[in-house]
């Protein structure tokens, strides 16, 4: 029986501001198997954890991440939009996160946000950080941008990469294999038995996002997918435990 791993999507992002240390720490405390996060580059080429290219949704800043230095970004409030109790929360760098993460018994998914802005050398910069903190063997690099994944494989062919998509495509697993990807990360509405079968045939790991509803969690467990990404890891763990009891 395949145990479906549970990745906290941007941390426990229903309980704390996404992609911040409070969200990551809550995911760890909940018992999540892994953490998923997003990387953009600052003006001074520091990888930071934020989903949007623009600052307006999750901070009190405006404009683009790439137009600020890391020191400038640190001054922004990245928590009040979620709740006033997180007003002292700031944008975290990949290195700062990895210093906390490296001794945790968890997996990591780093999404390279290169589908809107193709940050120069982001693949090498992120790779160097992951290598420095000795977490490459439990990290998967994902992106909607196949060129990013190809560049990552050029840096080190043994790095695990995943092609991200929300679009229904013919021969999707074959396409993922053609760009050297080791896994497919797809939106939950694309999940069916046929896709699971085809991924297994191609020896591709299959992970599903973003799974917040109990019925979809159950479908993932029933189909034995490799992992799911969820904003509510504490609930996904609870339902997985109940599902496992039902299988005995």
Residue 248 in tokens: 């005995």
Q: Is residue 133 annotated as part of the catalytic site, yes or no? A: no
Q: What are phi and psi of 114, to 5 degrees?
A: -115, 15
Active-site residue, from 9, 133, 185, 188: 9
Return d(Cα 160, Cα 230) in angstroms, integer.
21
Query: Measuring CA to CA, how many Å separate 63 from each of 16, 215, 227?
Result: 23, 38, 34
Pairing of strands 139-143, 183-187: unpaired
Active-site residue, from 45, 51, 185, 188: 51
Residue 37's SS3 state is strand
Residues 6+ apart with CB under 8 A from 153: 159, 161, 180
Return d(Cα 98, Cα 133) in angstroms, integer.
7
Return d(Cα 200, Cα 206) in angstroms, integer.
8
Residue 32's SS3 state is coil
Active site residues: 9, 51
């Amino acid at each position: 029986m395949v145990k479906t791993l549970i990745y906290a999507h941007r941390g426990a992002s229903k309980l704390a501001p996404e992609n911040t240390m409070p969200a990551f720490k809550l995911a760890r405390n909940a018992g999540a198997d892994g953490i998923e996060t997003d990387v953009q580059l600052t003006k001074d080429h520091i990888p930071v954890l934020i989903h949007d290219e623009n600052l307006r949704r999750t901070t009190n800043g405006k404009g683009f991440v790439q137009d600020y230095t890391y020191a400038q970004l640190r001054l922004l409030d990245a928590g009040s939009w979620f709740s006033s109790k997180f007003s002292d929360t700031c944008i975290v760098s990949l290195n700062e996160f990895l210093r906390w993460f490296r001794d945790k018994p968890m997996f990591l998914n780093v999404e390279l946000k290169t589908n809107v802005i193709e940050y120069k050398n982001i693949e090498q910069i992120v790779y160097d950080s992951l290598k420095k903190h000795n977490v490459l063997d439990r990290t998967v690099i994902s992106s909607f941008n196949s060129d990013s994944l190809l560049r990552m494989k050029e840096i080190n062919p043994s790095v695990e990469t995943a092609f991200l998509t929300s679009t229904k495509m013919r021969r999707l697993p074959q396409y993922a294999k053609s760009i050297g990807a080791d896994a497919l990360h797809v939106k939950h509405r694309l999940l069916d038995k046929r896709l699971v079968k085809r991924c297994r045939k191609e020896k591709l790991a299959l992970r599903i996002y973003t799974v917040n509803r109990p019925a979809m969690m159950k479908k993932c467990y029933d189909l034995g997918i490799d992992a799911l990404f969820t904003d509510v890891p504490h609930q996904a763990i609870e339902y997985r435990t109940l599902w496992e009891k039902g299988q005995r």
